[in-house]
Amino acid sequence: MGRDCGRWVGRGVRQVFEIERIRQVKGKRATREVVDGFTSLGPEEAGPAELLTVSRKHWAIKNKLYGCGMGC
């Protein structure tokens, strides 16, 4: 993570993470997106696999509510 994340210390943030998303829509060029996140859960409560699961569930709910809207 290239950004200074020290500003979140002391605000209940216990982990800062980065997720890289590569998306391929049929017939189109793949796109890459890197997003940063933070959580009040400590590493003992949520490791990398759990954080990824939470992120995927978030987007699954959002896509179900609003539709993909991106040609998928």
Which residue segment(s) compose the domain that 35 sits in? 6-66
User: Would you say residue 72 lies in a domain?
Assistant: no
What residue type is 51 in one-letter code?
L
| Residue for token pair 């997003």 | 35
User: Would you say residue 24 lies in a domain?
Assistant: yes
| Reported confidence tier of residue 1, pLDDT bands at 50, 70, 90 | very low
Inter-CA distances, 13 with 7, 8, 24, 29, 53, Å: 10, 6, 33, 36, 19
Q: Looking at the chain, how many residues does it have?
A: 72
| Reported confidence tier of residue 69, pLDDT bands at 50, 70, 90 | low
Looking at the predicted structure, is the pLDDT value of residue 2 above 50?
no
Residue % of the chain over a pLDDT of 70 = 78
User: Would you say residue 14 lies in a domain?
Assistant: yes
User: Would you say residue 22 lies in a domain?
Assistant: yes
Number of domains comprising the chain: 1
Supply the pLDDT for residue 11.
77
